[in-house]
Structure formats: structure tokens, C-alpha cells
Structure 1
Amino acid sequence: MNTLAEGEKGAPDTDRTVNKYKAGARGSSDITTTDRPSSAAGPFSGSESTESALEATAGADSIPDGGVTAWLQVLGSWIILAETWGLVNAFGVYQTYYETNMLSSISSSSISWIGSVQGALLMMVSFVSGPLYDAGYFRHLIFVGLGLVVLGQFLTSLCSVYWQVLLAQGVMTGIGMGLSFLPSAAILAQYFRRRRALVLGISSTGSPLVGITLPIIFSRLEPRIGFAWTTRTIAFILLALSAIPLACMHTRLPPSEGAPRRIIDPTALREASFLTTVCGSFFVFLTLYVPFFYLQLYAETHGLASPDISPYVVTVLNAGSIVGRVVPNHLADRAGSVNMLLVCGVCTLVVLAGWFGIQNFAGLIVFALLYGGFSGGIVSLMPSVIISLTPDPGRVGARLGMNFLTTGVALLIGTPVAGAVVNGFGRSQWLGVIGYSTAGMLVGVSLHGTSRLLLWRTKGQVKA
């Protein structure tokens, strides 16, 4: 930080924050690149790498760590995450409706591709939105992204055949999500340092909250006004909410100048702990969202809940996820992100195996609450785990991108495979779905455990 101090001496008093940023960058011959804020922040967790990058350019004292403007960014991020991951979390209500009504002639596997494409594009397009955010296109990204999300919902209300729904709700909405969600989380790194984990945990609760409310809205309105106007009503709600982040969110610092972001980090391919973690993430996310997509349908087909009550199963899943996205992150500051990820993974696996024993509505609700909580911890901790496995802050963006790409592919194929099992196993179809989900989670958690063991043996890390 000495070189930064020298650079700051020459900065004028006016526009102090911006000039400190520029002076710090000029004052150090050692700093040739900066870690990008968009690359360093995942959708649901704090980012030490973003902190390192900002401290290396502007100084830690320039981050406000509060104030009205800073908390308005949290509000905007909360809304954007609600409109992106929230819709993914709530897709189960659409899955059930399509299978039992509008697209009843289409296989369960084909219908699940709609939600899978949506979630996969959310992750994969973030691979592109990161560099665009770095280049100073934050406002453009959230404007276009939220616009596509809302437009996709409106167009979904006009759909009547499968391919139309896939393009509108899957592709268009998914691209909009991918453009907006990562920048909306990354911008918080410019406003918070000491309370960043808490702030990102708070902002991430927007997604499960939509997962709670949207199934209720859909189940209440659809029988009265039909699918088209129910979907339009949801789109109008999203449109009204989108006005808030567009009005209040803006970057505090100018875009950093430096070398282009590296898409692939070759050093990561030589680190066994990183590779096993990413491979484990693939298998975890391959089956993580199967209950979110299929638990409501399972409840109806097994007589555990009537069609009027079954949408609340998705609501309970997301209610549990709210707690799971905040508490593990708070504990990870003391126990380590890798350790907490392993704990959440083991607990998720145990709960998932308990799916075999559900015999009544009470058991269904307990399962949904516990699974939502522990799986929410996995989602919120994953980016911070990747960051903790990256010794060089300048490589965090590339490694997060590699992980996003891997989990995006898993999201794309995981639930359609479960849908194929539903269609192809006859009377034992649900045993196949539960077995598939449990097996994928078991492989993923085992690989995460292997990564933790490698860290202990090679680096002697207890808190990781």
C-alpha cells in the first residue's frame, strides 16, 4: 500500500475519490492490471478478490461501507437477483402447469429443458457480462438484461406451443438474466468492504423470496384469469420493480484499465484442489435443482397434496433457502468457506436421501424446508470457495468463469435427465429420480471432500 500512498499525495482535493483511484493506479509501477469487480463477485457471496483489486487502486478508506447511496445499491441488487435467480427457483410451478395443462402432450424431460436453458444461460452469459461490466457498461447491462427478462415474460403469455415457450421463457429470459445478475452483485464491492459478506447475503435473499411469492401468485390467479393474464400480471410486477435499480444503481469508480481479462487460467489446471472442487460442483449442480423442478409434481402424483396446495411446496423450498443463503456465509467468515460448503453438501445429501421415506404432507414440508436451507448454502458459498482457492487475485475472474461455465452445463442437462427418468421408468419412475439425484449429489460431495483433504495435506490449511 506504500506505492498507493505516494500516488495519493499528488491528487488534488476535488473529486477526491476518483482522483485517489487514478493516482493510485499511476503511482505504482508494480500494478499493471486490476482484478475486475464483475469477475470477482459471484451471485450470492462476498468476494475477497474484488476487495483486493479495489484496495490496490483506490485504497480501502475510499470505500464508504454504508450511507444512503450504498444501501440503494443493495436494494437494486436485491431486486435484480429476485428477477433472475428468483424466476429460476420458481420454475417448478410452471413445470407442473405445463405438464398438466398447456403442454400435457410434451414429455416431462422436454418441458424441463425450458427451465434448464434459463438457468444455464444465466450462468453462461455471465461469462460475457463480466468483461462488459469491467469496460464500464454497467447501466447498459442492467437495462438490456432486465428489459429482456420482462419482455420474455410478456411473450411467454402469448405462447401456445412448446417451441415458443422454450424461446421466450427459456432463451430470451435466460439471456436477460445472464446480462444483469453478475454486474448487480459485483457493484456492491465498490460500496462495501467490512460488511460485504452480510450485504451480499442480504441481497441474495431476493431470489428465494420470489420463489416463495410467485407460486402463490400463479396458483391464485391462474384459475381465475387464465395462464396468459397471470403471466402478464407477473410481467407487469417485474416491470415496475425494474424501475428501481434502473433509477438508483450506478458505479462509484471509473472502469479499471489494464490487460484484458483472461478467460482461462492455465495455472488452475495444475491445482488438484481446484480441479476436484470444480468437478464436484458439476455433479452437485447436475441434480441440485431437481427438487425445485419436480417436488410439486411428486406431491400431486403421490396424493400428498392437492393441486391447490402443492404450489406451496415450492414456496417452502424457497423459504428454507432464505436462511441457507445468509447463515452459512456468516459462519464461513470464521470456519472457512470450503469447510462450510462441505458441511452444507453433506447435510443436503442426507436430506435428499430422506426423499425416499416421505409418506405424508408433513414429511414433504419438512423435506422441502431442510433441502431448501442446505442447498441454498451450497449456492451462496460456491463463489467464495473458488475465490479462497485462488492465491492470485488477478486470476479470480478467470477461475470464477471456469466454474460458472461448468455449473452452467450441469444446470442445462441435469433436470432434463431427471425428466427422462420420470417418463421412462414406469411405476418406479420416482425411485429413479430420487436415486439419480442422490447419486449425483454423493459424487459431488465426495469430490468436495477430496478437495478439502488435498488442502489439508498439501497446504496444512485447517480453516479453508
Structure 2
Amino acid sequence: MALSTNKETSDSVPTPPKNEAIIDESESPPRDRGVWAWVQCVAGFCLFFNTWGMLNSFGIFQTFYEQDFLRNSSASQVSWIGTVQSSFIMLGSLYSGPLFDRGYLRHLVLLGSIILVFGMFMTSICTQYWHILLTQGVVMGLGTGCLFTPTTGVIASHFDKRRGLAMGIVSTGSTIGGIIFPVMFHKLVDSAGYGWTIRAIAFLMLALSILPVCSMRVRVKTPSSGNGLDIGAFRDPGFSFFAIAMFVGYLGLYIPFFYIQLYSLEERSIVGGLNVYTLPIMNAAGLLGRLALGYLGDRIGPLNAFMLSAWACGALVFAWSGMETKDSVIAFCVLYGFFSSGLITLPATVVAQNLCPDIRQYGVRMMLHLVPAALGLLIGNPIAGAILKDGWTGLQVFAASLIVASAIFSGLTKYFTVRLSKNIQG
């Protein structure tokens, strides 16, 4: 989209509210510096804890619901709860992306936090499958959809050379949440009961929402122009191939997160209390991965780091099909947790650095990649649950093949973006 004059912008784009959280670029510190930029990282950490941290923890709910609370529901049915919630994190970019570009950051953060916490509290009083699908799946999903794209957009506006590292720091919130939520659930559910366990989690999410609501700010003052869509971006082959890479990658990416604990129980590769900690182990490794791969993305380029992560994850999931001992499964959790973090953390940086020529269009550009990813995430885990009826090998090969396909399509993205850059320079 071409940038318009101030007069044209005022005629075509709604003016943000006067109290909106926007910092005048001429008065703000340079990118990558200033206390306020790092405050945004802490606030973003809190939102990732509440959103992606809950998604990374769904394996504990998958096992509990399937074996206890919703024992009459199949694995595929239970997985719909987690996939509906998680797909909204990215499908929410349909409304949060354009609104973020128009300056409604604070409204999105406040509304999203309220809906998310409300959905968690309502989950605590559910007694049937459709109750939980509605509250934990749809309602909480709508809340997360208001929060993810604005968070990455805020970080992209405050950081340039350190953008990958900053995004990595923010995304560690998802791994810390993925460690704390499962352990918290396991420790409380027997003594406090399901209802009060969920309420305790909701109170924690409420406390972590305070800082983002009060402090999140966008650095760039001028909102983007246009009608909120940039479909013409798909004429760029690199842009289109990365959207395909996101779709097929997220079809398979979260299958290990959803099913590793159930696999360990059924195959008896890990017995006793250690099985409960397979998800926290995976997420703890992801904490290191987000920082390391975010930093690596700043050194070699985020798209190169994304490809490295995708190839590593594909190889690991293929290898998972031959892992039967405790040590091998724990090693898988550590390595997959580390490298899968790159597929979660780096796309926002890839879009900002490689596929978004104007950072003020970031919300819409990110939306055009998050929607395919959300569709993949929505259907991938239920398909895996249906495949599981015929055994674990089919599920593992299905997930691995999809992640390898994502690596191939991201390689095509690299080829076309490099070729376009050479054509522009030439």
C-alpha cells in the first residue's frame, strides 16, 4: 500500500482515540534503546504467558479430560478444545491486526485480557464437554485473538537490530507458562478439585494482565492507510510460500505437545510421577530455544533460523517413532522443545524483516500469515487424534512429514526473497 498524505489519511482511516497508547516517533528514544522498550518486553512476556503458555500446557488437559473428567469423549473430540482455543490466537489477527494498525492497541489489550480471564473462570464451573468447548475453546480463544498480534507489533515497533532477541525474550513467557500451568494443575487438582484449580490459574492470569493493560505502547505514531487488507501481497511468491509454510507447519507442530504425555502413558516409556513433567521439560527447553534461536535470527537472519528449526523438528519427530525408552523420550522432549520454539518465535520477525516493507502495515501483513497457520493448527491435532486409532506410528509420520514440508516451503520463500532483493538492487 502506498502511504498517503496526512489529509488523505484523515479522510480514509478512523482517527485513534485521544488517549491511545502511541508514542510520537520524533520524541521517543531510538529503536533498541530506552527503558520503555524493555518495559514492553516484560508486558509482552506476561501476555505470552497467558496465551501461548496455556496452549503449550494443553497436553495436561488432554490427558486429564480423556482419562477422567471427559472420559466418554474420544482423543479427537478432546483435542478440539485445545485447537479451537489455539487457532483463535492467530485467527484473531483478522480483527486485531487491522485494529492494531489503526491505533486501538490499548482497547485490544484490555478487552482481550478481560475475555481471556472470564473464559478461564467460566471453565471452572463446567460439567459437560460442550461447556468446556465453549468456554476454554471459544471464549478464551476470542480473548487470545485480541492479544497476540498487537504484542508482536509493539515489539517490532520498538526494536530493529535486536528484534529477534526481544521477540525471543517476550516469547519465553509461553515456555514459563507451559512449565507453571501443568505443574500447578497437577499439584492442585487432587487436593483442591478441578473447579478451584482452574480458578487458581484464572487468578494468576488476572494478576499477569495488569502490567500489559497499564503499560503497553506503540512507538510509531502514524497508523497505516488502507482498508485493512493487502491481498496484493500474495503476488510476491516469497510471501505466498511462507503462508503455505505456516499452514503445513502448524498442522503438525503442536501434535507432540498435545500427545507426548498420553504417548508416555500408553507406551509405558515413562512410568510414575515423571510422566507428568514431560510437558514442563519440553517447555523448559523451549525457554532456552527462544532466546538462542531469537539471537541466532539476528545473526544469520530470521528466515534462515526458521528453516534450521523446521528441518531439526521434522527429523526429531521422525525419530520419535522409534523411541521407546525413558531416556530417549526425555531427550526428544528436550530437543523438540528447543527447536520447535523457533517455529513459534521467528515467524513474527520473518514477517517484520523480510516480508513487510512498511512496518506500519505489520498488523495486516502478519494477519495474512497467521490465518493459514491458525487453520492448520485448528485441524491438525483432531486429524492426529483420528489417526491415533490405528496406532502411534501413523500419527508420528503425519506430524513429521508436515513439518518437513514447512521447511521446504520456507526454503522457497528464501529463494524468492533473495531473488527479489537482487532485482531491486540491480
TM-score in terms of structure 2 length: 0.88
Say which of 389, 394, 397 aligns to 1:435: 397
Say which of 371, 380, 386 aligns to 1:405: 371
Distance 1:310 1:276 in 2: 38
The equivalences for 1:219-238 within 5 A come to 219-238=186-205
Asked if 1:140 is matched to 2:102, the reply is: no
* % identical equivalent positions: 33
Structure 1 residues 213 and 391: alpha-carbon distance in aligned structure 2, compared to 1, 3 A threshold? closer
| Cross-structure match for 2:263 | 298
Say which of 184, 188, 196 aligns to 2:151: 184
8 Å contact from structure 1 (residues 261, 398) kept in 2: no
Asked if 1:269 is matched to 2:234, the reply is: yes
Distance 1:217 1:158 in 2: 18
Say which of 218, 225, 235 aligns to 1:259: 225
Distance 2:147 2:205 in 1: 14
Which secondary structure does the structure 2 equivalent of 1:310 belong to? helix
Asked if 1:418 is matched to 2:380, the reply is: no
Say which of 345, 350, 354 aligns to 2:315: 350
Distance 2:308 2:129 in 1: 40
Which secondary structure does the structure 1 equivalent of 2:92 belong to? helix
| Cross-structure match for 2:411 | 449
Structure 1 residues 140 and 395: alpha-carbon distance in aligned structure 2, compared to 1, 3 A threshold? closer
Structure 1 residues 455 and 141: alpha-carbon distance in aligned structure 2, compared to 1, 3 A threshold? closer
Structure 1 residues 98 and 460: alpha-carbon distance in aligned structure 2, compared to 1, 3 A threshold? same
Deviations 1:35-79 (A, max 9, x none): xxxxxxxxxxxxxxxxxx99xx83597447444444332221110
More displaced stretch, 330-339 vs 120-129? 330-339
The residue identity in structure 1 corresponding to 2:402 is: G
Say which of 85, 89, 101 aligns to 2:56: 89
The residue identity in structure 1 corresponding to 2:121 is: F
Deviations 1:239-287 (A, max 9, x none): 1222232233345665x35523542331x33222222222122111100
Say which of 354, 376, 382 aligns to 2:341: 376
The residue identity in structure 1 corresponding to 2:407 is: V
Which secondary structure does the structure 2 equivalent of 1:78 belong to? helix
The residue identity in structure 1 corresponding to 2:329 is: L
| Cross-structure match for 1:281 | 246
Q: By how many angstroms is 1:225 displaced?
A: 1.6
Q: By how many angstroms is 1:364 displaced?
A: 0.9
Distance 1:225 1:391 in 2: 49
Say which of 71, 75, 86 aligns to 1:108: 75
Deviations 1:188-221 (A, max 9, x none): 3454445333222211110111101111111111
8 Å contact from structure 1 (residues 33, 258) kept in 2: no
Structure 1 residues 130 and 383: alpha-carbon distance in aligned structure 2, compared to 1, 3 A threshold? same
Which secondary structure does the structure 1 equivalent of 2:113 belong to? helix
| Cross-structure match for 1:80 | 47
Q: By how many angstroms is 1:391 displaced?
A: 6.3
Which secondary structure does the structure 2 equivalent of 1:245 belong to? helix
Which secondary structure does the structure 2 equivalent of 1:308 belong to? helix
8 Å contact from structure 1 (residues 265, 399) kept in 2: no
Distance 2:245 2:378 in 1: 16
More displaced stretch, 168-177 vs 268-277? 268-277
The residue identity in structure 2 corresponding to 1:438 is: A
Distance 1:69 1:224 in 2: 42
More displaced stretch, 197-206 vs 292-301? 197-206
The equivalences for 1:30-109 within 5 A come to 58-59=25-26, 62-63=29-30, 65-109=32-76
Which secondary structure does the structure 2 equivalent of 1:205 belong to? helix
Q: By how many angstroms is 1:322 displaced?
A: 1.2
| Greater radius of gyration (CA) | 1
8 Å contact from structure 2 (residues 81, 133) kept in 1: yes
Structure 1 residues 32 and 323: alpha-carbon distance in aligned structure 2, compared to 1, 3 A threshold? farther
Distance 1:87 1:73 in 2: 21
Structure 1: tracts of 5 or more residues without a match: 1-24, 35-52
Q: By how many angstroms is 1:93 displaced?
A: 0.4
More displaced stretch, 125-134 vs 400-409? 125-134
Which secondary structure does the structure 2 equivalent of 1:158 belong to? coil
Which secondary structure does the structure 2 equivalent of 1:101 belong to? helix
More displaced stretch, 236-245 vs 141-150? 236-245
Asked if 1:124 is matched to 2:122, the reply is: no
Structure 1 residues 432 and 164: alpha-carbon distance in aligned structure 2, compared to 1, 3 A threshold? same
More displaced stretch, 75-84 vs 443-452? 443-452
8 Å contact from structure 1 (residues 320, 370) kept in 2: yes
Distance 1:97 1:445 in 2: 33
| Cross-structure match for 1:168 | 135
| Cross-structure match for 1:46 | none
| Equivalent residue pairs, number | 411
8 Å contact from structure 1 (residues 132, 138) kept in 2: yes
The residue identity in structure 2 corresponding to 1:356 is: S
RMSD: 2.8
Say which of 210, 213, 225 aligns to 1:246: 213
Structure 1 residues 273 and 194: alpha-carbon distance in aligned structure 2, compared to 1, 3 A threshold? closer
Asked if 1:321 is matched to 2:286, the reply is: yes
Deviations 1:415-447 (A, max 9, x none): 00001112x31xxx1011111111212222222
TM-score in terms of structure 1 length: 0.81
